[in-house]
A and B are shown apart, each in its own frame.
Chain A
Amino acid sequence: MIEARFKPGEPVRVRKAYPLGHIRTPFYVRGHGGVIERLCGTFGNPEELAQMRSGEPKQPLYRVRFLQSEVWPGYRGNPEDALEVEIFQHWLE
């Protein structure tokens, strides 16, 4: 099991990477910055599980809050409109 590196409120950025395989980090947030909303717990790594492997070491999973205007250029709406996405720690920096 891997220790959680981030705390709620901490700014993070999603890795801008495009590996092949079963990745549960949506393309639209890759490379974007957000803030840790909460730590959800520690879960088997889906990229490993999809290959019929053990999913170990388990990875901390966070909910990360992104401002819509940061993710989508030209977004119209309330400036506080936000997206919350579950991201595994190995995708955050």
Chain B
Amino acid sequence: MKDSGNYQPYSYFQLMEVSLRELLVEKGIVTEAQVAATVEDMRARSPERGAKVVARAWVDGSFKKKLLENGTRACEELGLDVPALRLVVVENTASVHNMIVCTLCSCYPRMLLGLPPDWYKSRNYRSRAVREPRAVLAEFGLQLNQDTAIRVHDSTADMRYLVLPMRPAGTEGWSEERLASIVTRDCMIGVAVPEPN
């Protein structure tokens, strides 16, 4: 951990990170091994976790009901440890499409989707998603019908949001694994819909 082999000069924030980390280790508050394990754990989180939750909800009606009532508890039931995640799952239907943004910063259900994409943190997405969501979705290639109402969720405080997309037609009889494979990160943020491949 001491020498990354990268001899570019540190940026301001890199220097702050190294200084703070070394100080915490020196003072015996954390060990280097704990820091390394936490970084590995964060890297291991990926949208596959969220996709597993969505696929289960598609095949198991009682799980779906629990997921919409209390997202955190339902995820624990799936063996996904989601501490500190107060999860609100919002369901897309034929008449309502949901999409997630954090206008204030970049709140995101990292335990289920991993690190947010850069566009999610961009000023462009954050300011426009609440103001002209239909135009933003069109730029993602999603033309929403005028009959479908759109609900934009701004994660401004302690909740984190996951969109439960509609199961597409043509996926009857698919296994849970195969269903999970078409649930992309963007589908769970609500800027795309799953396509059967």
Q: Does B73 touch A at the CB level, under 8 Å?
A: no
Cβ contacts under 8 Å, B150 to chain A: 77-78, 81-82
Q: Is the CB of B146 within 8 A of A77?
A: yes
Q: Does B116 touch A at the CB level, under 8 Å?
A: no
Instruction: Say yes or no: A86-B157 contact (C-beta < 8 A), given A24-B104, A26-B104, A72-B131.
Output: yes
When chains A and B are docked, how far (Å) is the Cα of A13 from the Cα of B116?
32
Instruction: Say yes or no: A78-B146 contact (C-beta < 8 A), given A26-B154, A88-B157.
Output: yes
Cβ contacts under 8 Å, B139 to chain A: none
Cβ contacts under 8 Å, A72 to chain B: 131
Cβ contacts under 8 Å, B86 to chain A: 40-41
Q: Is the CB of A86 within 8 A of B154?
A: yes
Q: Is the CB of A40 within 8 A of B130?
A: no
Interface size class of A (residues with CB under 8 A): 20 to 34
In the complex, what's the smallest C-beta–C-beta distance from A20 to chain B, in angstroms? 16
Cβ contacts under 8 Å, A80 to chain B: 149
Interface size on B, residues (CB 8 A): 22
Q: Which residue of B is nearest A38, CB measured?
A: B88
Cβ contacts under 8 Å, A63 to chain B: 88, 159
Cβ contacts under 8 Å, B130 to chain A: 26, 28, 83
Q: Does A84 touch B at the CB level, under 8 Å?
A: yes
Q: Is the CB of A78 within 8 A of B149?
A: yes
Q: Is the CB of B148 within 8 A of A26?
A: no
Q: Does A6 touch B at the CB level, under 8 Å?
A: no
Q: Is the CB of B148 within 8 A of A61?
A: no
In the complex, what's the smallest C-beta–C-beta distance from A36 to chain B, in angstroms? 14
Interface string of B146-187 (1 = CB under 8 A from A): 111111111111110000000000000000000000000000
Which of A46, A78, A88 is in CB contact (< 8 Å) with B148? A78
Q: Which 6 A-B pairs have the closest CB atoms?
A: A80-B149, A86-B157, A85-B154, A78-B149, A86-B156, A43-B158
Question: Given A40-B159, A77-B146, list of 4 further CB < 8 A pairs?
Answer: A40-B157, A41-B158, A78-B147, A78-B149
A-B pairs with beta carbons under 8 Å apart, 23 shown: A26-B156, A28-B130, A40-B86, A46-B157, A63-B88, A63-B159, A68-B152, A76-B134, A77-B150, A78-B148, A78-B149, A80-B149, A82-B149, A82-B151, A82-B152, A83-B152, A84-B152, A85-B153, A85-B156, A86-B155, A86-B159, A87-B156, A87-B157
